[in-house]
Amino acid sequence: MFYALVIFVSAFLIFLVQPLIAKQILPWFGGSAALWGTCLLFFQTALLAGYAYADALNRWLSLKRQVILHSGLLIAAAITMPIIASPAWRPEGSEEPIGRILGLLAATIGLPYFLLATTTPLIGAWYWRRHRASAPYRLFALSNFASLLALLGFPFLIEPWLGTRETAWVWSGLFVVFALLCIALGRETLLRAQTNQHASAHSESAQAPNFSESAPSTIRLDHWLLWVALSGIGSAMLLGISSHLTQNISSAPLLWVIPLALYLITFIISFDHPRWYVRPLFLLLAGVLLPIMAWLSDSLNLKIVTPIYACGLFVTCMVCHGELARLKPHPAKLTAFYLSISIGGALGSLAMAVIAPIVFSGYFELYAALIAAAITSLFLTIGQQPLMRRVTRGIGVCVVAAVSLLSWQGVRDYTVGVRFMERDFYGVVRTRDSSNGSEFRSMIHGAISHGGQLLGEDLRMSPSSYFGPTSGYGRLFASLSDEPKRVGVIGLGAGALAVYAKPGDHWVFYEISQAVVRAAEQEFTFLRGMKGTHEIIIGDGRLALDREPPRQFDVLAIDAFSGDSIPSHLITKEAMEIYMKHLKPNGVIVFQATNRFVDLMPVARNLADAHGLSVVLISDSPRFDYGPGYWLAMTDQVIMTRNTSILAAKQIESVGQDIPKRPGFPIFTDDYINLLRLLKRS
């Protein structure tokens, strides 16, 4: 029981700290969907380092030296508590984010996480040394069960009740308890080993029916490569599907933990007992789901896509981890086996989080992961009869061909007609021309158009897309006086809001992505053609505003979506306090609230109420009779201000809708964000 307790606590802490630390630093990196992928790369790499350390100790050090060294490191890690990220790691604006995130994580949780990562293989090896008669692989399933409890507990039980800082202190206290337990277990194992060192070893494998009488001296190369490949594909699928969901909804703990929980469940099931992995069933399901996932990769119908991708992730990981469980070696090679799994996990994360953005100009890595999964299934045949093996191999070839063809079609649709395409940490920016009576150039971020420009010479500075004359922005600027104004915009996009600038105005655009800035300057003429002056501040808008002295904006526009993903750190109480610092007493804040999946109205109402602002919703379904060449889009924009005369202006009062307060719905803070309650039903 002592071994199981230590492994349970360590696994619980490992997977509790993952969303905890990611949530701490999310506002510092623009709420980017890529942040979670980078964090997973760190976690997988630290896990690899921990497993390598456990393997090295098991190979080269006596049990006594293992206990002494490990105890010393645990004490050193306990001294570094609490795990609260230093503000010194906040980016100033132009830094390369991946290296900074990895450095921040290493400095904040590096040593504690590394030592937690060693626990399952190291304690498992100690368990084998002491008991011999029992195989320790079920402890691996136990550790994954504890991990699952931590993952599901964070968004549903911990996050709603404890703030991030309080949770960090609780975690730190639990780590100290874990360190003491682990040191005590090491001492007990050492004492028992010394007491029993002359005992007979004849029963070493008596109760281990799944293993041979003696451990093999070496590990077969083909087995090692297969361990790494299976683990790597499962990890790559996890990152690919997590990225797909967070790009289109929001980068938040709830959407981080659901795919990771499914991933862990397959480990639990596979290593609990061989009966759970029914190879013919799961290979058949994989053969059906992999092509469907490739086909739906560009779909924004998340009501269909999300369950299919969840099933696909579960089935694919069940195949990968079920095969790993079938191939597990003698317990004497346990640490080498865990090390191989961690190498595969780290390589899968590295491929998706670092290599893919360098190699691919668009979001193509999910296609690569699907093809790799299909190819792997090709080598897993059903049955021993030659005919059955040939049939299943033929079906596998068809699955690979189907996934490859559908992936090629997806890449072609993604790139057809694209003029400009550039990728950075914050997403993929594309521009594409189209015609519907007049030529129009769109800026596409992720899978969503973020405005654009009419290309006719006399129409270039005409309002269009989400910023038409009857939108919230259009009505607001029409109701304001002609006096020079100071306007702040979080989220540059194509620069389409600049059509409302007037002589004497000064506009400040805050944009975190340099790719967006290059697209706006090279592909569109809004900034060159605007009547007022402007400046562009590179970096996260919230952080930039927090550093600056009060700007005294007449209008502050919050329009910083990435794809259709909500940067949740921009809609919290703390963010609103920063906005108010920069707003004139009678200034106006406008929130872009257009979203396919999330209803932001209760959040906006709470933020306005907290600062004594009046608030209305302008829900625009534009008529297309403003003249030739207008390209307009349906949009929801929220206007909030203390200046009720603005809301009483004819342009706004005639269409403004009250936003009802939702009873019992709390204000969002950096510590509490519950997107589940905001998901649209229709």
pLDDT for res 263: 92
Q: What is the DSSP string of 521-574?
A: HHH--HHHH-SSEEEEEES-HHHHHHHSPP--EEEEEE---BTTBB-GGGSSHH
Better-scored residue on pLDDT, 507 or 267? 507
Gyration radius (Cα) of the chain, Å: 28
Residue with tokens 């690919």: 240
Lowest mean pLDDT among 260-264, 270-274, 524-528: 270-274
Residue 449 has pLDDT above 60, yes or no: yes
What would the pLDDT profile of 207-218 be if each residue is shown by its tens digit? 434 443 445 557
Q: How much is the average pLDDT of 651-677?
A: 85
Query: 174: part of which helix (H) or strand (E)?
Result: helix 164-195
Q: How much is the average pLDDT of 189-196?
A: 76
From CA 16, how far away is CA 33, in angstroms rounded?
Answer: 19
From CA 290, how far away is CA 240, in angstroms rounded?
Answer: 13
From CA 445, how far away is CA 247, in angstroms rounded?
Answer: 10
Q: How much is the average pLDDT of 167-190?
A: 93
pLDDT for res 297: 84
pLDDT for res 632: 82
Asked if 495 contacts 524 with a C-beta cutoff of 8 angstroms, the reply is yes
What would the pLDDT profile of 249-266 be if each residue is shown by its tens digit? 555 666 778 898 899 899
Going by DSSP bridges, is the β-strand pair 635-641/583-592 parallel, antiparallel, or unpaired?
A: antiparallel
Helix (H, G, I), strand (E, B) or coil at 388: helix
Q: How many CB atoms lie within 10 A of CB 191?
A: 11
Q: What is the DSSP string of 494-523?
A: TSGGGGG--TT-EEEEEES-HHHHHHHHHH
Give how far Cα 537 sits from Cα of 87, 93, 323, 508, 509, Å.
20, 8, 51, 7, 6
Confidence of residue 596 (pLDDT cuts 50, 70, 90): confident
What would the pLDDT profile of 393-416 be if each residue is shown by its tens digit? 888 899 999 999 999 999 999 999
**CB contact burial 208-244 (16+ within 10 A = b; e otherwise):** beebeeeeeeeeeeebbebbbbbbbbbbbbbbbbbbb
pLDDT for res 630: 61
Q: What is the 3-state secondary structure (H, E, C) of 23-89?
A: HHHHHHHCCCCHHHHHHHHHHHHHHHHHHHHHHHHHHHCCHHHHHHHHHHHHHHHHHCCCCCCCHHH
What sign does the CA torsion over 578, 579, 583, 587 have?
Answer: negative
Q: CB under 8 Å to 187, separation ≥6 — which residues?
A: 67
Give the single-character DSSP code of 155: I
In angstroms, how far is CA 250 from the centroid of its own chain? Answer: 8
> Mean pLDDT for the chain?
86
Helix (H, G, I), strand (E, B) or coil at 596: coil
Q: What is the DSSP string of 178-244?
A: HHHHHHHHHHHHHHHHHHTTTS--TTTTTT-TTS-SS--SS--HHHHHHHHHHHHHHHHHHHHHHHH
Question: For the chain, how many helices (H) and strands (E)?
Answer: 22, 11
Helix boundaries (H) for 249-301: 253-272, 279-295
Asked if 244 contacts 367 with a C-beta cutoff of 8 angstroms, the reply is no
Cβ-based burial of 68 (10 A; exposed 0-12, middle 13-18, buried ≥19): middle
Asked if 419 contacts 433 with a C-beta cutoff of 8 angstroms, the reply is yes
pLDDT for res 215: 53
Tally the C-alpha atoms within 13 A of residue 530's C-alpha that lie toward its C-beta.
26
Cβ-based burial of 327 (10 A; exposed 0-12, middle 13-18, buried ≥19): middle
| Residues paired with 453 in a beta bridge | 441
Cα-Cα-Cα-Cα dihedral of 611, 614, 615, 618, to 10°? -150
pLDDT for res 381: 61
Confidence of residue 355 (pLDDT cuts 50, 70, 90): very high
Residue 376 has pLDDT above 60, yes or no: yes
Q: How far apart are the first and last CA of the chain?
A: 49
* pLDDT-above-70 percentage for the chain: 89
Strand order of the sheet with strand 583-592? 533-538, 506-511, 486-490, 553-558, 583-592, 635-641, 614-620
Instruction: Please state the φ and ψ torsions of residue 385, each to the nearest 5 degrees.
Output: -70, 135
Strand order of the sheet with strand 427-435? 418-424, 427-435, 439-445, 448-454
From CA 357, how far away is CA 1, in angstroms rounded?
Answer: 45
What would the pLDDT profile of 13-52 be if each residue is shown by its tens digit? 998 999 899 888 888 887 777 888 899 899 999 989 998 9
Lowest mean pLDDT among 17-31, 531-545, 598-612: 17-31
Asked if 233 contacts 374 with a C-beta cutoff of 8 angstroms, the reply is no
